[in-house]
């Protein structure tokens, strides 16, 4: 370097230094701290209405270089107000203000570039009357509103506040707030369209209280830290906002919502938000802003928010997602009052959320929000409700909120549940559901599938319930309804379908046992109708059931139909109004009442409205088989209101044991108490068949072979009617080896010991000896039949009442009979021998009677044979008489025609086994000569005709 230049630089530097020293000395000499302090105190007294003290005011240059600084120490403003915690309104330990020296020297502009505030205290107080201690300046007369105008440039090098303690007490509004240890650092510049800013806030403790103790709100936050840095230009700025709240306490109305212990895994709240702000369209853009709670629960947000301007509301386009949240820990963050329901239970799961929020947000405007919740590893246990935990709870729940359409008036919320599953013991449940209007009618669709093990169900049953069962069940439920329909139990408008499949089922309860390899139940609610109704179908390929000694085994069984529920009725059948279709195949039933296994080959019937249409029924009981078809009416009336059960059935059988069949229906429909009372009056061994009451069933029967009262019959066909206590065999025709027969019988049981039996019996073309073999009773009634052999017609109409032991009440016996025969052979017997020897018949010769017409009546225990004519060869004999059922007789035999010139008559009296025979008076000489009959004889013949005609009237 040139020596001259060097000398010049040294001279200039020395001159500058001398100037600075002179200025410094001048400043020190002129602007001494004491002098400045006194000036400031004097000025403050003028301009600051309250008491003020400035302990020290000094100028600084080096510590605030390049700015000129003004340092104030121990500054205090005091303003006494009754009730205030103290008189000190403001205390500043040290305040330094840096002023742009160059701008001041050149342009006389005071530009503050630095502000340091250390160790300050602020006490703001408002008393109950609203007077504030900070209200130290008089009100301005200028009432015109002023408008803040951004300066052309802001150049704020730094603002630093250290250790600020502030307190605000407002007695009027019962509010207190305080901050302690507040540190604020702010740096920034906006020059020539360029922005640079940094804000850091740290607070030792922040406290806020409002309202009365115990009912108001108190907030305490410790260690709050906020940092915002930004850089940009007139159009946009990029930056990052971080916020940390390590711990806090929130108490509302005496309830703690957050305590210092709440945050156990990190900062209570932590926010880290990279952002960008566009000034033109006032749009804030977030680039994965993270909000973390307790160091564990994080929400990441991306997107944009347009701040409101003019008439435009806030607009959002945000997407958010969370990390995997531990639900149990999350619930632990909640106040105890909100999680009291968890007491006694274990609950945990992992939840993850993601979603979006798009659209405008305003008072009446909601954005479009989509949220998806993914649940996994769910666990729930509560031994009070369920033995064993529920595990593996997982699924997805999505929800969408849509703003109101132009004319809709409200926003809508829809939600879907997808594959929400849970496992308990060995059972599993899966649920899918959705609703597209959660804020309105809440219509929903749900699909529930469950696989349940019987061992799991057994765990739910009380130990005292003596039921064991095994098997498994698969349940499938579909439902469509609205919430109000469910709440109102409006079953007519709820759509629901249930399918239940049971497999390997076995149920045991005391004497009840039911088992099946599989059974399905399908049911669905029926729409509309006056009362809720259910259609169902039950089907199984095999079913075994027993209760004590009653058992049922079935192969194919299906039961379908519908039931409804009408609570306006009291009786169950009226309430349910069932309609059923039964299809049963290859079943067997055992009951002591039958004493044999009843096999149902097929049973198909339809039941509805009290009527049962038996389509096809085929049964086998022992050696008997039955096929039934037809219909039965009035079932409900019969069961519920003692109405009449009516029906018309076709009954066919290859073989029927009538006694066994009757035992099935003995006493049906009869009042048990009344029957027991009557039974008590009869011998203990008596057990008569009591005809069912309130039953009117007509059976059109055709039985190929049957066993009835010890007799074997074939081709039995006709009508059997059971009509309210009366059994009528109508026009029963059958063939036995002896004859062609027609039988109409009536049996009634009006009283236990007063049973009616009536017969209208016709045998056409009978063999008499075989008839006696078939019906031995005939021999008792008409002993002389034993004497005849050959073909005849026989008519009998008789009735009697019986005791409970089926013994006839003789005073009620009433009957009439008629026999017609031709070419009958008289058999040898002791009595006939006596007669024949008396009348000199040929001995030991088989003779034929040309014709025989006998009418007889039975009245009480007495049988009367009206005079009948036996013609044989040259002889005509008239026989008439009476005998009693104890075999005492009084018969008159009169020879009307013979080779002898005289009329002979004999009377046979006494015991039938040993009668006394003596000659008698002739009475019937003209009986069979109408032109010569007297009145008595006419009457006799009239009676004979009357008896025969009354009998033959019934022959069909």
Partner 1 sequence: MFLSAAMILPVSCRKDEPKNYDANMIVGLWQKSGSNEYWRYDSNGRGNFWDEDDDVHEGEGTHFIWSLSDDRLSLTFTGQMGQEVPRDYKILELTSSLMRLEDEYYGNETTYYKK
- Give min distance, CB of 814 to partner 1, in A: 5
Nearer to partner 1, 402 or 751 (CB): 751
Tell me the per-residue interface mask from 799 to 838 with partner 1, x by CB under 8 A, - otherwise. Answer: x-x-x-----xxxx-xxx----------------------
Contact with partner 1 (CB under 8 A) among 163, 544, 721, 954:
954
Q: How far is CA 376 from CA 391, 392, 422, in A?
A: 10, 7, 10
Tell me the per-residue interface mask from 96 to 135 with partner 1, x by CB under 8 A, - otherwise. Answer: ----------------------------------------
Residue 947 touching partner 1 (CB under 8 A): yes
Nearer to partner 1, 563 or 778 (CB): 778
Smallest CA-to-CA distance from 745 within 694, 711, 786, 790 is with 711
Single out the segment in contact with partner 1 by CB under 8 A; choices: 496-504, 715-723, 926-934, 941-949: 941-949
Nearer to partner 1, 520 or 803 (CB): 803
Residue 188 forms beta bridges with which residues?
Answer: 156, 197
Give the list of residues 6+ apart from residue 243 with CB closer than 8 angstroms, or none.
Answer: 224, 225, 226, 227, 269, 270, 271
Nearer to partner 1, 505 or 856 (CB): 856
Nearer to partner 1, 400 or 726 (CB): 726
* CA-angle at 424, arms to 418 and 427, nearest 5°: 80
Tell me the per-residue interface mask from 873 to 902 with partner 1, x by CB under 8 A, - otherwise. Answer: ---------x-------x------------
Site for partner 1 in 846-865 (CB under 8 A): 857-859, 864
- Whose tokens are 């069961």? That residue is 639
Give the list of residues 6+ apart from residue 234 with CB closer than 8 angstroms, or none.
Answer: 193, 279
Smallest CA-to-CA distance from 242 within 204, 202, 283, 190 is with 202
Nearer to partner 1, 639 or 810 (CB): 810
Single out the segment in contact with partner 1 by CB under 8 A; choices: 3-11, 12-20, 535-543, 943-951: 943-951
Query: Measured between alpha carbons, how far is 633 from 726 in angstroms, rounded to an integer?
Result: 18
- Give min distance, CB of 865 to partner 1, in A: 11
Contact with partner 1 (CB under 8 A) among 63, 930, 946, 955:
946
- Give min distance, CB of 549 to partner 1, in A: 37
Helix (H) or strand (E) holding 830: helix 830-838
Query: Measured between alpha carbons, how far is 732 from 711 in angstroms, rounded to an integer?
Result: 15
HEC per residue, 457-526: HHHHCCCCCCEEEEEEEEEEEEEEEEHHHHHCCCHHHCEEEEEEEEEEEEEEECCEEEEEEEEEEEEEEE
- Give min distance, CB of 882 to partner 1, in A: 6
HEC per residue, 291-348: EEECCCEEEEEEEEEECCECCECEEEEEEEEECCEEHHHHHHHCCHHHHHHHCCCEEE
Dihedral sign for Cα atoms in the order 872, 877, 881, 884: negative
Nearer to partner 1, 393 or 798 (CB): 798
Tell me the per-residue interface mask from 38 to 67 with partner 1, x by CB under 8 A, - otherwise. Answer: ------------------------------
132 DSSP 8-state letter:
B
- Give min distance, CB of 869 to partner 1, in A: 19
Nearer to partner 1, 755 or 826 (CB): 755
- Give min distance, CB of 875 to partner 1, in A: 25
HEC per residue, 644-668: CEEEEEEEEEEEEEHHHHHHHHCCC
Nearer to partner 1, 704 or 954 (CB): 954
Site for partner 1 in 717-776 (CB under 8 A): 744, 746, 750-751, 753-754, 756, 758-760
- Give min distance, CB of 918 to partner 1, in A: 16
Nearer to partner 1, 411 or 944 (CB): 944
Residue 953 touching partner 1 (CB under 8 A): yes
Contact with partner 1 (CB under 8 A) among 165, 602, 700, 950:
950
- Give min distance, CB of 857 to partner 1, in A: 4
| Tokens found for residue 173 | 């509004």
Contact with partner 1 (CB under 8 A) among 369, 797, 826, 870:
797
Nearer to partner 1, 545 or 746 (CB): 746
Single out the segment in contact with partner 1 by CB under 8 A; choices: 144-152, 391-399, 774-782, 938-946: 938-946
Query: Measured between alpha carbons, how far is 519 from 543 in angstroms, rounded to an integer?
Result: 8
- Give min distance, CB of 898 to partner 1, in A: 25
Residue 923 touching partner 1 (CB under 8 A): no
- Give min distance, CB of 815 to partner 1, in A: 6
- Give min distance, CB of 809 to partner 1, in A: 5
Give the list of residues 6+ apart from residue 604 with CB closer than 8 angstroms, or none.
Answer: 581, 582, 583, 584, 614, 615, 616, 617
Query: Measured between alpha carbons, how far is 183 from 225 in angstroms, rounded to an integer?
Result: 9
Residue 937 touching partner 1 (CB under 8 A): no
Nearer to partner 1, 343 or 935 (CB): 935
- Give min distance, CB of 653 to partner 1, in A: 26
- Give min distance, CB of 843 to partner 1, in A: 32
- Give min distance, CB of 907 to partner 1, in A: 12
Dihedral through CA 147, CA 151, CA 157, CA 160, nearest 10?
A: 0
| Tokens found for residue 652 | 């066919």
Dihedral through CA 575, CA 577, CA 583, CA 589, nearest 10?
A: 40
- Give min distance, CB of 519 to partner 1, in A: 53
Site for partner 1 in 248-277 (CB under 8 A): none
Q: End-to-end alpha-carbon separation of the chain, Å?
A: 165
Nearer to partner 1, 315 or 743 (CB): 743
- Whose tokens are 């109508």? That residue is 730
- Give min distance, CB of 859 to partner 1, in A: 5
Spacing of C-alpha 310 from chain mean position: 56
Of the CA atoms within 13 Å of residue 135, those in its CB half-sphere come to: 9
Contact with partner 1 (CB under 8 A) among 798, 870, 879, 889:
798
Query: Measured between alpha carbons, how far is 286 from 299 in angstroms, rounded to an integer?
Result: 13
DSSP state letters, 426-447: TEEEEEEEEES-TTTT-EEEEE
Give the list of residues 6+ apart from residue 440 with CB closer than 8 angstroms, or none.
Answer: 410, 412
Nearer to partner 1, 780 or 946 (CB): 946
Count of residues that interact with partner 1, criterion CB under 8 A: 36
Q: State whether residue 356 is helix, strand or coil.
A: strand
- Give min distance, CB of 776 to partner 1, in A: 21
- Give min distance, CB of 723 to partner 1, in A: 14
Query: Measured between alpha carbons, how far is 492 from 425 in angstroms, rounded to an integer?
Result: 36
Query: Measured between alpha carbons, how far is 877 from 256 in angstroms, rounded to an integer?
Result: 129
Nearer to partner 1, 835 or 856 (CB): 856
Residue 934 touching partner 1 (CB under 8 A): no
Cβ neighbours of 21 (radius 10 Å):
10
Nearer to partner 1, 611 or 754 (CB): 754
Binding residues vs partner 1 (CB under 8 A):
744, 746, 750-751, 753-754, 756, 758-760, 797-799, 801, 803, 809-812, 814-816, 857-859, 864, 882, 890, 939, 943, 946-947, 950-951, 953-954
């Amino acid at each position: 370097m040139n020596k001259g230049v060097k000398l010049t630089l040294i001279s200039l530097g020395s001159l500058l230094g001398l100037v600075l020293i002179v200025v410094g000395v001048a400043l020190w000499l002129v602007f001494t701290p004491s002098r400045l302090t006194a000036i400031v105190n004097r000025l403050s007294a003028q301009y600051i209405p309250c008491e003020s003290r400035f302990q020290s005011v000094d100028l600084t240059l080096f510590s605030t270089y390049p700015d000129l600084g003004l340092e104030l120490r121990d500054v205090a403003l005091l303003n006494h107000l009754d009730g205030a915690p103290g008189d000190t309104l403001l205390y500043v330990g040290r305040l330094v203000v840096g002023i742009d020296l160059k701008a001041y020297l050149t342009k006389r502009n005071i530009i503050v570039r630095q502000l340091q505030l250390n160790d300050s205290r602020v006490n703001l107080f408002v008393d109950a009357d609203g007077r504030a201690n900070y209200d130290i300046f008089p009100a301005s007369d200028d009432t015109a509103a002023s408008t803040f105008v951004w300066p052309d440039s802001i150049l704020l090098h730094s603002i630093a506040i250290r250790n600020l303690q502030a307190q605000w007490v407002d007695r009027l509004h019962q509010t207190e707030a305080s901050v302690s240890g507040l540190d604020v650092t702010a740096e920034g510049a906006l020059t020539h369209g360029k922005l640079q800013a940094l804000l850091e806030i740290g607070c030792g403790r922040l406290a806020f209280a409002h309202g009365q103790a115990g009912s108001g709100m108190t907030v305490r936050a410790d260690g709050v830290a906020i940092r915002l840095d930004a850089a940009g230009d007139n159009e946009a700025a990029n930056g990052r906002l971080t916020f940390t709240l390590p711990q806090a306490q929130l108490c509302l109305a005496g309830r703690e919502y957050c305590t210092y212990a709440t945050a156990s895994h990190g900062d209570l709240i932590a926010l880290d938000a990279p952002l960008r702000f566009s000034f033109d369209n006032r749009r804030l853009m977030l680039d994965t802003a993270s909000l973390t709670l307790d160091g564990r629960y994080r929400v990441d947000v991306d997107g944009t928010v347009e701040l409101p301007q003019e008439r435009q509301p806030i607009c959002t386009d945000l997407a958010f997602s969370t990390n995997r949240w531990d639900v149990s820990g999350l619930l632990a963050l909640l106040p105890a009052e909100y999680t009291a329901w968890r007491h006694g239970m274990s609950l945990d799961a992992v939840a993850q959320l993601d979603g979006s929020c798009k659209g405008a947000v305003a008072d009446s405007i909601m954005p479009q929000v989509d949220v998806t919740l993914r649940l996994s590893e769910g666990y729930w246990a509560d031994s009070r409700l369920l033995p064993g935990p529920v595990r593996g709870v997982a699924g997805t729940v999505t929800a969408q909120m849509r703003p109101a359409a132009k004319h809709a008036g409200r926003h809508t919320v829809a939600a879907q549940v997808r594959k929400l599953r849970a496992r308990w013991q060995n059972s599993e449940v899966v649920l899918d559901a959705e609703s597209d209007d959660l804020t309105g009618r809440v219509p929903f669709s749900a699909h529930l599938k469950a696989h349940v093990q019987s061992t799991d169900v057994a765990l739910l049953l009380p130990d005292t319930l003596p039921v064991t069962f095994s098997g498994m069940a698969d349940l499938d439920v579909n439902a469509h309804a609205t919430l109000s329909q469910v709440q109102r139990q409006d079953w007519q408008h709820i759509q629901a379908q249930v399918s239940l499949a049971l497999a390997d089922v076995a149920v045991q309860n005391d004497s009840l046992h039911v088992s099946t390899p599989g059974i399905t139940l399908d049911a669905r609610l029926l729409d509309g109708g006056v009362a809720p109704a259910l259609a169902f179908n039950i089907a199984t390929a095999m079913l075994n059931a027993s209760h004590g000694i009653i058992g049922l085994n079935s192969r194919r069984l299906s039961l379908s139909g519908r039931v409804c529920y009408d609570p306006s009725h009291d009786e169950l059948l009226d309430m349910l109004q069932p309609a059923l279709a039964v299809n049963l195949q290859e079943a067997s039933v055992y009951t002591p009442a039958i004493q044999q296994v009843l096999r149902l080959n097929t049973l198909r019937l339809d039941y509805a409205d009290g009527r049962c249409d038996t389509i096809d029924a085929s049964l086998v009981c022992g050696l008997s088989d039955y096929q039934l078809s037809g219909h039965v009416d009035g079932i409900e009336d019969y069961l519920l209101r003692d109405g009449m059960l009516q029906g018309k059935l076709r009954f066919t059988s290859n073989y029927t044991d009538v006694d066994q069949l009757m035992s099935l229906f003995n006493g049906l429909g009869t009042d048990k108490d009344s029957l027991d009372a009557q039974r008590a009056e009869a011998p203990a061994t008596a057990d008569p068949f009591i005809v069912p009451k309130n039953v009117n069933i007509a059976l059109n029967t055709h039985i190929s072979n049957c066993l009835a009262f010890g007799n074997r019959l074939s081709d039995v066909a006709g009508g059997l009617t059971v009509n309210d206590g009366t059994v009528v065999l109508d026009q029963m025709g059958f063939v036995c080896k002896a004859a062609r027969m027609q039988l109409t019988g009536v049996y009634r049981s009006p009283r236990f010991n007063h049973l009616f039996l009536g017969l209208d019996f016709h045998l056409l073309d009978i063999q008499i000896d075989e008839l006696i073999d078939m019906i031995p009773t005939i021999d008792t009634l008409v002993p002389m039949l034993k004497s005849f052999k050959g073909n005849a017609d026989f008519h009998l109409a008789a009735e009697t009442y019986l005791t409970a032991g089926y013994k006839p009440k003789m005073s009620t016996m009433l009957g009439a009979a008629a026999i017609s025969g031709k070419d009958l052979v008289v058999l040898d017997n002791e009595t006939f021998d006596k007669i024949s020897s008396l009348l000199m018949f040929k001995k030991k010769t088989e003779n034929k009677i040309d014709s025989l017409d006998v009418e007889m009546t039975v009245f009480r225990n007495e049988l009367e044979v009206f005079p009948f004519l036996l013609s044989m060869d040259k002889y005509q004999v008239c026989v008439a008489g009476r005998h009693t059922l104890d075999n005492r007789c009084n018969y008159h035999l009169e020879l009307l025609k013979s080779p002898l010139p005289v009329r002979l008559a004999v009377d046979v009296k006494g015991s039938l086994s040993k009668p006394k025979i003596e000659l008698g008076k002739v009475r019937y000489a003209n009986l069979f000569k109408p032109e010569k009959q007297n009145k008595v004889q006419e009457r006799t013949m009239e009676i004979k005709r009357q008896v025969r005609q009354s009998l033959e009237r019934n022959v069909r």
